[in-house]
Structure 1
Amino acid sequence: MSGRRSFQIRTHLAGVTPGTYASRNVGDASEPVTRPGYRPWSEVSNRVDTLDGMKSHQSTQTMKPATAAKKLGVYLEATPAEFREGVVSRAELDAFQADPPQWLRELRAKGPHPRPVVAEKLGVSISGLARGGITDALTTEQIEALKQEQPEWLVKERATQAEVRKEAARIKKRDTEG
């Protein structure tokens, strides 16, 4: 019986105990205040809601390939077609993490890497990558080349990131002492 409580709340009057049948005393008779068709609390079956109607077996939890790739830390477009076109179950994801197949090991080692991984390897934020003009996935080789070049934007973003980390550590220390 969907909405039963919300209907009771809408029809509740000040000074009337919720769940009771509200009425107005007019002279000798009392007239009901609630709309016709509303059953008094005493008539409502006190059926206990149980989980008996639920399935006893657990359904398989699946996720989109993009979500699985994000959890695995790999660039979706670089994954095999069967990975991109299907769905990934929680058990398959756990298996990938516990014993990664060859393609996953290669992607993690050589790339291309998604932006969060690139940012982590360069020691900058994702928005710092965008400010530096890096919007695409990079391979490990390209990341190493950027580290060797030390472009101005990378030096600046690393300094900014170091300041952010230092401030976060200061706040954490302050909060634990206080």
Structure 2
Amino acid sequence: MTSRKKPQTMKPATAAKKLGVLLDATPAEFRDGVVSRDELNALQSDPPTWLRDLRRDGPHPRQVVAAKLRVSISGLTRAGLTEPLTTAQIDELKATNPDWLARERATQTEVRNELARLRVRGGNA
């Protein structure tokens, strides 16, 4: 007799993070249940309208905001940005390029350059 494997599931917060969306912005049916690995794969390969809209327009979680602005999450915190931002808000920040954004981008570039230098030297970065 073969035992059936129970499908692997995750909390909606974990699935939202893997999908790169803000949990609070997802539909109630997504937030209120559990997500199986197969459901997550289906959402990634053929995203429904709500997921495509969230990915395009936001509001975006901090890690996505940081990536779109090319700064670190710590840089967002230093700038006082603790709330999710929409794509329009991110685009506005890019267009106005405030001092803090230019400074954080420069810091991020320095960090990346240092990591690359250490990798070339054979360091364990």
Q: 2:93 maps to what in 1?
A: 146
One-letter identity of the residue aligned with 2:105: R
Q: Per residue, is there more helix in 1 or in 2?
A: 2
One-letter identity of the residue aligned with 2:76: L
Gaps of 5+ in 2: none
Gaps of 5+ in 1: 1-51
For residue 34 of structure 2, the aligned residue among 75, 84, 87 is 87
Aligned counterparts of 1:56 and 1:87: Cα–Cα separation in 2:
22
Q: 2:64 maps to what in 1?
A: 117
Q: Which has the higher contact order (CA 8 A, sep 6+)?
A: 2
One-letter identity of the residue aligned with 1:93: L
Q: CA deviation at 1:60?
A: 1.1
For residue 132 of structure 1, the aligned residue among 75, 79, 102 is 79
Q: CA deviation at 1:69?
A: 0.1
1:61-84 per-residue CA deviation (whole Å, 9 max, x = no partner) reads 111100000000001111001001
Q: CA deviation at 1:149?
A: 1.1
User: Highest CA radius of gyration, 1 or 2?
Assistant: 1
Measured on the aligned residues, the alpha-carbon RMSD in Å equals 1.3
If the length of structure 2 is used for normalisation, what is the TM-score? 0.95
Percent sequence identity is: 66
Once superposed, which parts of structure 1, at least 4 consecutive aligned residues long, lie more than 2 Å away? none
Aligned counterparts of 1:65 and 1:149: Cα–Cα separation in 2:
35
If the length of structure 1 is used for normalisation, what is the TM-score? 0.67
Aligned counterparts of 1:123 and 1:97: Cα–Cα separation in 2:
24
SS of aligned partner of 1:138? coil
Q: 1:62 maps to what in 2?
A: 9
Note the 1:37-52 alignment, pairs <5 A. none
Query: What count of residue pairs does the alignment treat as equivalent?
Result: 123
Aligned counterparts of 2:47 and 2:95: Cα–Cα separation in 1:
30
